[in-house]
Amino acid sequence: MPPSSPPYHHGDLRRALVARAGEILETDGMDELSLRSVAARAGVSHNAPYRHFPDRTALLAATAALGFDDLADWLAAAGEADDPGQAMSAVGLAYVRFALARPQMYRLMFSGDLLKGAGDPEYVRASTRAFDLLRTAVEQLLPVAGQTTSGPVASILWAEHHGLALLLIEKRIRPWMRSDRREDDLVHWVAATLPDRVRALSALAAPPGVGRRQA
């Protein structure tokens, strides 16, 4: 029987590779991110990443999971305000600010073509964690809503902030804005009105007889 390959003495090699992938993504862009470039950045052989990632798609999914964990950390910190309304606004603001601070990572996190459905368990865990923090902010603002409306409302808010973030990243809002307005003003207005919009959306999403207005 041939001797088995010796184990790597790199600590947590998988974690190191994902961290290096995140660095390459932010500094050099998506096109430069590959298993070979990550191996070079981590200082290991070009075959070493294949022990953890069978192909580039698997590496991208793991890198996107890292991005969602980072986003979740931003949302968790923003949601620590004692006042539920302030916490809700802060979470919305943090979401957009994260996207603007990490545009390359943000694009990857939602790149369906590159991630091929992202069935990777770590990707699912990390993205669910980020969404659950947004839903928690909704539930804290509307404790009586519970699971009945918090999921749908959080989904609408996620879609809203995702669209705003991408428009800002791609610089597609500026042509429609007055010259005396700043993009940051728009982000703050959206965040400031979040509590009222959450309440309105919750009323619309509630089942008949549970705080929903009848036509």
Q: Are residues 25 and 112 in the same domain?
A: no
Q: Are residues 88 and 36 in the same domain?
A: no
The count of C-alpha atoms lying within 13 angstroms of the C-alpha of 133, restricted to the half-sphere facing its C-beta, is 25
Nearest to 14 by CA among 112, 102, 125, 122: 122
Q: Are residues 38 and 67 in the same domain?
A: no
Distance of CA 172 to the CA centre of its chain: 21
Note the pLDDT tens digit of each residue in 112-141.
Answer: 777 765 578 899 999 999 999 999 999 999
Please report, for the domain that includes residue 78, its CATH number. 1.10.357.10
Q: What is the pLDDT of residue 93?
A: 95
Question: Could you tell me if 24 and 41 are in contact, meaning their C-beta atoms sit under 8 angstroms apart?
Answer: yes
Question: For the chain, how many structural domains are there in total?
Answer: 2
Mean pLDDT on 189-210: 84
Q: Are residues 36 and 108 in the same domain?
A: no
Asked if residue 50 belongs to a domain, the reply is yes
Note the pLDDT tens digit of each residue in 132-177.
Answer: 999 999 999 987 755 688 999 999 999 999 999 999 999 887 655 5
Asked if residue 1 belongs to a domain, the reply is no
Q: Are residues 93 and 194 in the same domain?
A: yes
Residue-number span of the structural domain to which 141 is assigned: 56-205
Nearest to 198 by CA among 74, 84, 93: 84
Q: Are residues 20 and 67 in the same domain?
A: no
Note the pLDDT tens digit of each residue in 84-105.
Answer: 999 999 999 999 999 999 999 9
Neighbours of 113 (CB within 10 A): 6
Q: Are residues 67 and 46 in the same domain?
A: no
Q: What is the pTM of this model?
A: 0.84
Asked if residue 5 belongs to a domain, the reply is no
Asked if residue 212 belongs to a domain, the reply is no
More confident residue, 8 or 67: 67
Question: Could you tell me if 39 and 18 are in contact, meaning their C-beta atoms sit under 8 angstroms apart?
Answer: no
Nearest to 108 by CA among 30, 162, 37: 30
Q: What is the pLDDT of residue 209?
A: 58
Note the pLDDT tens digit of each residue in 28-64.
Answer: 999 999 999 999 999 999 899 999 999 999 999 999 9
Asked if residue 72 belongs to a domain, the reply is yes
What DSSP designation does 208 have?
Answer: T
